[in-house]
Structure formats: structure tokens, C-alpha cells
Amino acid sequence: MKETDFIKQNKKKWARFEKLSSNKSNDPDEVSELFTEITEDLSYARTFYPRRSVRVYLNQLSQGVFTSLYRQRKQPIGNFIKFWVETVPLEVYRARRNMLAAFLFFVLAIIVGVISQHYDSGFANIVLGDHYITVTEQNIADKNPLGVYGDSPGGSMFFQITINNIRVAFFAFVGGILFTLGTYWVMLQNGIMLGAFQWWFKGKSLLFVSFLGIWIHGAFEISAIVIAGAAGLTVGNGLIFPKSYSRVQSLVFAAKRGLIIMLSLIPFFIMAGALESFVTRWYREIPTIVKMLIIFFSFAIIIFYYVIYPFIVARRYPEKVEVKEIPRFIPTKKINWHKIRKPGEIFTDTFTLLISKMSRLTRIFFSIIVPLIIVLISVTFYLEYQRFNFTMYWYQTFGTLFGTGIDFQYYKLFGWCVPFAMIITAAYFVITDKREDNLLGNYLKFMAKHFIWLYLYALVIYSIFLFSPGIFLFFVVLVAPFLNAIPSIIIHENTNFFTALSRSFDLGKGGYGDSLVSFLALVAITVIFFFILHNPIAGIMMIFDDFLKQTLITVVDSYSVVIAIVHVAIYMLYFFIMFSICMISFSLNHHSALERKTAKGLYERLEHFGKRNRSYETDLDFD
């Protein structure tokens, strides 16, 4: 059917629907029936007239009605209630085996802590710290064994304790992504600490006193850690056992299920923090029967909601127990290079390109660039071994490795610019070379063609970073849009560094503001990623440092060197990702500036104007 016949046949119906949808006083049944027919017409138009004006009209008509019906519709309180009485219990039921595994493993960890403390009286000092043991021994001498819970004001203690509990549970949950090993480590660590802690009090003949005091809040707190561990195992098992899904799809579905369990723990974190901050401190004044009732009812709430109630809900809704997840299809976005982009578009297109090219990038990185990095790191550690053999702050490790500040060495400057230039080359290669065969060979040819000039570019930028005084860096930010254009000009225009430098000022004048905003966005991303690495509360470096130190301190004398090596590996991945993001963004900025100056993309679109567009029919629309 021709588009004109299709319109003629249905235009009265569409006009009627348009009139009814704009009037609130109408027959809802008629509107509903017409809406169904409109969506069927839209489906037909998408199939046979995908690039026609009628498809745009029907899409706007149906979307407008749908938006008016649902956008402003508030979520009823029933959805909130349903989350707690149905959604969470069903997820817990589906994770019941993980819940049992987490519980048994945690009990085993407690037993390990008890046995270790029983046969080594100094074990508690290792896992709890000498300061904590010393303070507690002093409190015992003052006949206030749990006095540590009353040292801080209740309000500030509440926030600190609640945040810490959430932090530990979050680590247990996120640790599942490490194939469940991270989750098991968190539970092992906390279980051993708990067992050693309680048995240390037993050695002081205070086991019952400590039990009644600690478990006032511990019933909720420890239970939450176990349940968070079950959520982490859910995530990890989704990664290990993807079944018929891809591993990424299975991980996404498992993370969603685990997150529901984690969200359900928020009230219990708050209750545990409140009890520890405002109740436990009065453990001596509270009658024993009251303490026992608090502990009993706390465990009763946990056991009922997370053990008994899920089975009740599962029997009530047997059809909802098994969930068949449907992978979401995300169509591949085609990047139009010859286009003037605003900073927001550059940002989104940068990450679209990064995701689509990441497999090729990582293959080049680990196959060619990483071996060179290993050689460079080996030389640095050989020459600076004594420095790495001490515990250093992150900036000291960073300086020793990369030669910043007082640790500058010429071999670091000239050496590190080689892998940096190779990463820059790799980023440009994957977005310009479309060949699928002989990836590594083609990359080496590409690198041989452009490496000298990109190495010189890396040397200039690294030197500015190393030697520029603070006030000069502000000036560097202002000229950054021009400096950032240099590698793109070298690659896309196949020229040398010096020509690219002069051309960058000519090309960058038109879109200077947008380029500067894009660069500042990259700076923000770089800072955010670096903060994730070095966050003093829950940074990635801190997590690995804590794990490695406790694992290696009794086994390896030079454990600080091992920690430094892990730091270096993380830094390399960080630079790999950030350099890739920056170079893709620079390339998009370059094409945007080029389009402003030459309008190449506009001329190409004008050549095809009127050919199979939304406004005009051509013979291609009919068979």
C-alpha cells in the first residue's frame, strides 16, 4: 500500500483520536480502543514507511498520549509496600542457597577465630589491634569492659557506625564480582574478628557479659553482614554460572537481584547503628532480662523476615518464584563523524565509542604495550627497590614510579612516554582502522607511521606536567583545546608534530568554548576516577592494601614491594582507560572543529537531500 493510500484510509480515525486525546471529558473505552489502533498503525508505518513523515506523525501522536497518561502519574504507596511484602522475600527465597552458604561460611570463620584465640592468646592483638586491646584491658580494670561504646557522643557515633556498617556490607556485596572471592574474604575477615573478640573476653571470664552487651546491636549488625554476603554470592554466581545468557547479561541480572537484597538491609543498618550508639553504652544499667529480650526480638525479626517469611511468600505466589530474564537489546549507535557536536554529545559519543572498541583496545594493550610496561617497571623497581620496600603514601609511590617532584629521573621521563604514546596510538588506531583481520600487525604498521610525532607530543605534555609551576598550569588549561587537537591532526591529517601545532590554533579558534568545556569534563572524570582509587574511606587502593597486608605480613618480609607492584598495575589500567577516553574525545572535537570550518558533512548530506528522506517518497519505498 502506498503511503498516500494509507493516510487517506486512516486520517479520519487519527483526527478523531487527536481530538479525544486533547479533551479530558470523553469516553475512556473509545480512547483506549483508538489508542490500540493507532499503535497498530504506527507498527505498520515503521515496517513499510520507516523514513516517512507519516511514521513521525503517528509516533508523536501515540507518544504524546502515553506521556500525558504516565509521566505525571505518581507511584502509589502500594508499590512501596509490595517491595517489602513481596519483592524482597521472593528475591531472598531465590537466593536461599546463597543465604545458607553465607551463614555456614561465617560460622566457620567464627570458629576459626575462636580456635586461633584459644591456642594463641596474642591472636586478638593481630586482628583487633594493640590499641583496641590496651583500651579494653584498661576498661576491664575500671570494671567497665565495654566502655569503648560510650566514649563518643551518641549522635556522631550513630552516623559513624551506620556508615561503617554500610561500608562493610557494601564490600561484601561488591566483592561478589571477583568471582565470589571478595565476598568470602570480607566474611572470613569479620567472622575471625568476631570469634577472636568473643573468645578473648572468655579468657577474661567475661564471655556472658560481653555477649549481652555486644549482641544488643550485633544481632542486626552481624546478620546484615551475612545477608550482604548472600547478596554478594548472588552476584558472583551470576558471573560464574551464566547459564544460557552471556556472562555480562548474567552479571547484570544477578547484580539487580543482589541489589534488591542489599536495599532491604538499610533499615537494619540504621537500627544497628541506633542500638550501638544509644543503647549498648548503657549495658551496665539495663537489666539482664531486657538485654536478652532485645537480642531475642532482634534475631526473631531477622529470622522471620529473611528465613521464614520468604517461604510463605513463595508458597503464596508460586508462579512468581521462577523469573525468566529477557536480555535488553540495545541497538548499535552509528557515529556520524562529520558533525558539529556540543560538549554533551562529545561526552556520550566518547563512551559509546570506547565501549564498542574496548575489546580491540584491550587486546592491543595486553599483547603489545603491557610487556613493554613490565620491562620499564622492572628497571624502576631494580633501581629504586629500597624505596619501594617501605610503606609509602600514594603520592610517594606515584612520584617514585613516574618521576614527579623530587623523584625526577630522565630515564622515567623518556621511558614512560613510550607506553603513553603507544596507548595514544592504539586509541586512534581502533577508531580509524576498520579492518578485522590481523589486528596486531595492522596496529604495529599504524604505530610505525605515527609513533615519532605522538611520542614527541607525549614528551611535551609529560614535561609540562612535571615541570610547570602551579600558576602556569592555569595557563595550560586555557590553551588545552589547542594542545589537545595536536594528536588528532597528526593522525587524521597525516602530518608531523610541528605542522599540527600551528594548525591546531587555526582549527581550534571556531569551537574554542565547546572544546574547553569538553576538556574540563575530562579533567573532572580524571579526578573522579582518581578519587575512586584513593578515597580514604573506601578507595580501591585501600581495599587492596588492607587485603594484601593482612595476607602477606606474616609470610613475606618485603610485603610493601608487593603492594607497590599492585599499585603500579592499577595505575597502568587507570592510565590506559583515561588516555583512551581522552584521545577519543579529542578526535570527536577535531572532527567537530573541522566540520565548522569545511562543512564537509553538510555538503555530503546536501548531495543526498530528497533521496529517501522523511518528507518525500521515492520509488525505493515501493516494491
pLDDT in tens, 343-384: 888 888 888 888 888 889 999 999 999 999 999 999 998 888
Average pLDDT over residues 186-205: 90
pLDDT category of residue 600 using cuts at 50, 70 and 90: low
Average pLDDT over residues 253-257: 89
pLDDT category of residue 70 using cuts at 50, 70 and 90: very low
| pLDDT score, position 393 | 78
| pLDDT score, position 161 | 86
Specify the DSSP element, H or E, that contains 292: helix 288-303
Among the residue ranges 57-66, 217-226, 424-433, 493-502, the one predicted with the least confidence is 57-66
Distance CA 396, CA 406 (A): 10
Question: pLDDT tens across 473-508, in order?
Answer: 677 788 888 888 999 999 988 999 999 988 888 877
* Amino acid (one-letter) located at 148: V
C-alpha cell at 170: 557494601
| pLDDT score, position 615 | 40
Tell which wins on pLDDT, 429 or 558: 429
Tell which wins on pLDDT, 331 or 452: 452
Average pLDDT over residues 319-333: 68
Judged against a pLDDT cut of 80, whether residue 88 lies above it is answered with yes
Distance CA 573, CA 199 (A): 43
Distance CA 488, CA 585 (A): 10
Domain positions in the chain: 3-70, 93-278, 343-596
What are the φ/ψ torsions at residue 616 (nearest 5 degrees)?
-130, 140
| pLDDT score, position 617 | 42
Average pLDDT over residues 163-179: 84
Tell which wins on pLDDT, 227 or 513: 227
pLDDT category of residue 221 using cuts at 50, 70 and 90: very high
pLDDT over 90 percentage in the chain: 30
List alpha helices for 129-153, DSSP H: 130-141
Judged against a pLDDT cut of 80, whether residue 78 lies above it is answered with no
DSSP state of 318: G
Average pLDDT over residues 62-76: 53
Distance CA 427, CA 435 (A): 15
| pLDDT score, position 443 | 94
In terms of Cβ atoms closer than 10 Å to its own Cβ (0-12, 13-18, 19+), residue 406 is exposed
* Amino acid (one-letter) located at 452: I
Judged against a pLDDT cut of 50, whether residue 416 lies above it is answered with yes
Distance CA 548, CA 563 (A): 7
Tell which wins on pLDDT, 333 or 621: 333
Distance CA 251, CA 238 (A): 5
3-state class of 244 per DSSP?
Answer: coil
Distance CA 338, CA 126 (A): 62
| pLDDT score, position 67 | 53
Question: pLDDT tens across 449-475, in order?
Answer: 999 999 999 999 999 888 877 667 677
pLDDT category of residue 616 using cuts at 50, 70 and 90: very low
DSSP state of 623: -
Cα distances (Å, whole numbers) of residue 32 to 11, 29, 64: 18, 5, 14
Average pLDDT over residues 63-73: 52
CB hemisphere CA count around 412 (13 angstroms):
20
CB 266 within 8 A of CB 209: no
C-alpha cell at 192: 575471625
Average pLDDT over residues 234-252: 84
Judged against a pLDDT cut of 60, whether residue 6 lies above it is answered with yes
pLDDT category of residue 332 using cuts at 50, 70 and 90: low
Q: What is the dihedral of CA 136, 137, 139, 143, to 10 degrees?
A: 130
CB 543 within 8 A of CB 570: no
Judged against a pLDDT cut of 80, whether residue 24 lies above it is answered with no
Distance CA 377, CA 575 (A): 15
Tell which wins on pLDDT, 150 or 131: 131
Judged against a pLDDT cut of 70, whether residue 72 lies above it is answered with no
CB 136 within 8 A of CB 201: no
| pLDDT score, position 22 | 62
| pLDDT score, position 305 | 96
C-alpha cell at 380: 624502576
Distance CA 427, CA 364 (A): 10
